[in-house]
Amino acid sequence: MTVAIRIAASVAALAAVFGLAAVATPAHANTATSTPTSTPTVTAAPTAPVDLLLSTDGTHFATTLSAGLFDGLGLLIPRGSQQATLWVRNPTAAPAEVRVSAHDVLLPAGGYADHVTLSAWNSGTGDTLSRTLRALDSCGIVVPSQPIAAGGTMKLIVTFTMADVSGTVDQGASAGLGLLVAMRDAQGGPFAASACDDPGTVVPVLPGTPTPTTKTFAAVAGTGFLAHTGVEPPAPVLVVGGLLLGVGLFLLLARRRRPEEDRE
């Protein structure tokens, strides 16, 4: 009886050992084949536009301009030009990127848009970019993207020039144009390929354009400005006119002298 009890106890002990091994093996296998949980990718939020400041004298800055950039200037005539200056400031403590593009270009029918050129010189690079009004349609770039330091200011000189057209070409024509000044944090990467959706501030350039507003995706319309005043007299006409005037004065003086000679 004692032997039977010992055999039974040994069998029970072996069964317990095998049972523990069976339980431990799957746990070890699961640990070996388990895969680590991947860390989710965090997408950076888009960079918000910088609230830039504008000025027409380089001293007094504001978020918008109270009048059009070319308000109060004379009409544009053949071979003539008109010029205005705009200062753009980065008021933040971080470097930024700035880009200027044409906005809401309204062109008349005919060749006027091909005969008027807009040139923009900027102090950031010292470069001048010139394009006809026709080429500026559809968000044309006026100042390419460039860095502007924290607290820095960029000077922009805008010039309109009319070609040497003759006769009544473009007489009385007008156009509308605004400049979209966009600025963003330099850490946000480059601007999009198209400037049409740039968030920024619309600067009214030509008289008649509306008060500037902060642009998100809404269009701001503008009308008016720069017209041809008429036909300029050619040089031969001026010369002939001067000669006729001289002959007339000579005859008048000679006629007055005759009575005086007859009296003598």
Q: What is the pLDDT of residues 131-143, one digit of tens each?
A: 999 998 779 999 9
Q: In this predicted model, what pLDDT tens digit does every residue of 108-139 receive, in sequence order?
A: 888 888 999 999 999 999 999 999 999 987 79
State the Cα–Cα distance between residues 90 and 184, nearest whole angstrom: 9
Domain covering 53-215: architecture: Sandwich (2.60)
Mean pLDDT (the chain, rounded): 73
Q: Per-residue pLDDT for 223 more than 90?
A: no
pLDDT category at 44 given cuts 50, 70, 90 is very low
DSSP state letters, the chain:
-HHHHHHHHHHHHHHHHHHHHHHHHHHHHHHHH--PPPPPPPPPPPPPBP--EEESSSS--BSS-SS-TTTT-----TT-EEEEEEEEE--SSS-EEEEEEEEEEE--SSSHHHHEEEEEEETTT--EEEEEHHHHTTT-EEEEEEEE-TT-EEEEEEEEEE----TTTTBT---EEEEEEEEEEGGG-PPPS-STT--EEEEE-STTPPPP-EESS----------B--PPPPHHHHHHHHHHHHHHHHHHHHHHHHHHHHH-
Distance CA 165, CA 79 (A): 8
Against a cut of 0.85, is the pTM above it? no
Which of the pair, 229 or 139, is modelled with greater confidence?
A: 139
Average pLDDT, stretch 59-69? Answer: 92
